[in-house]
């Protein structure tokens, strides 16, 4: 322990002794003692934040998911022009949008394995956590500046086709996958009422699922009440993770 920290302990002991000797000094010395606690708490909080950052660095420097991973899953390769013709239950890699695809009946799941962030890990370098509300009207995209919000590659491809954006910019924008906040996997039946966590599962439990889904449908378009697109990306993330876990 360094000298400064020892001084805090000595001063704290001194304060206790002084108060025992003369109770009338208690208020004043309490203020000093509280100030010391606040200062040290701030230092500790700072160290804890750094610890989280170091942990995050560990995650980022681990093996990343790349072409090797894609090949290891042996997906069928296609392009977004042929998505409609996908066969049920077959895993595809859609080259031009850099996403995996699985069709299950009328449902098309697209996506990748993304990064999962806690609230404390989010900083200016974190992209694609939420969908860009502006969609293809996004000013960043039109100016060909990397937008930090997620843009669906299928939508962006329309701008590419109309030559509003270059292929180089399109590739840059779609190169990073959809990412997530950890609470997206948290089930809370009261989630819709909890403003602290926007991304939370408020439906899904068997006993009330059908009623919850009907309630959402009666409120209007599902996407405005429940972010079904983000939910699909979460499901795809989990399917790919499972395949990664179980691949031989
Ligand atoms: Zn945008």
- The rounded average pLDDT for each run of 10 residues, N- to C-terminus, in the chain (248 residues) is 82 92 90 92 87 69 72 93 96 96 97 91 90 95 95 96 96 92 86 62 87 81 74 96 86
- In Å, how far are 2, 91, 95, 199, 232 from 108, measured between CA atoms? 60, 11, 16, 22, 9
Q: How far is the CA of 171 from the centre of ligand 1 (A)?
A: 15
pLDDT recorded at residue 112: 95
**What pLDDT does residue 57 have?**
65
Distance from residue 123's CA to the centre of ligand 1 (Å)? 17
The pLDDT value given to residue 144: 95
Ligand 1: centre distance to CA 59 (Å)? 27
Q: At what angle do helices 3-21 and 26-61 cross, to 10 degrees?
A: 150
Distance 138 CA to ligand 1 centre (A): 5
Q: What is the dihedral of CA 133, 95, 170, 106, to 10 degrees?
A: -20
Q: How far is the CA of 130 from the centre of ligand 1 (A)?
A: 10
pLDDT at position 239 is 96
pLDDT for the residue numbered 221:
66
pTM of the model: 0.74
Please give the distance, rounded to the nearest whole angstrom, from the Cα atom of residue 157 to the centre of ligand 1.
14
Q: Where are the alpha helices (DSSP H) in the chain?
A: 3-21, 26-61, 67-72, 139-142, 153-161, 167-174, 209-218, 222-225, 228-246
Report pLDDT for 29: 92
């Amino acid at each position: 322990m360094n000298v400064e920290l020892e001084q805090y302990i000595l001063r704290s002991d001194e304060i206790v002794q002084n108060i025992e000797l003369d109770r009338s000094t208690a208020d004043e010395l309490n203020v000093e003692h509280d100030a010391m606690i606040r200062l040290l708490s701030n230092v500790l909080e700072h160290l804890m934040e750094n610890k989280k950052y170091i942990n995050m660095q560990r995650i980022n420097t681990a093996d990343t998911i790349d072409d090797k991973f894609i090949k290891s899953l042996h997906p069928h390769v296609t392009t977004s022009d042929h998505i409609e013709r996908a066969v049920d239950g077959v895993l595809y890699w859609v080259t031009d949008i850099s996403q995996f695809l699985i069709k299950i009946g009328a449902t098309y799941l697209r996506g990748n394995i993304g990064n999962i962030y806690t609230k404390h890990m989010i900083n200016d370098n974190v992209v694609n956590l939420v969908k860009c509300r502006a969609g293809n009207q996004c000013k960043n995209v039109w100016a060909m500046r990397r937008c930090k919000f997620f843009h669906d590659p299928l939508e962006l491809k329309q701008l590419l086709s109309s030559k509003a954006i270059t292929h180089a910019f399109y590739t840059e924008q779609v190169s990073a996958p959809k990412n997530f906040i950890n609470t997206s996997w948290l089930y809370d039946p009261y989630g819709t009422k909890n403003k602290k966590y926007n991304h939370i599962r408020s439906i899904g439990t068997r006993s009330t699922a059908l009623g919850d889904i009907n309630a959402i449908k009666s409120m209007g378009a599902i996407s405005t009440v429940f972010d079904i697109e983000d939910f699909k990306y979460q499901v795809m993330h989990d399917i790919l993770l499972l395949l990664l876990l179980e691949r031989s």
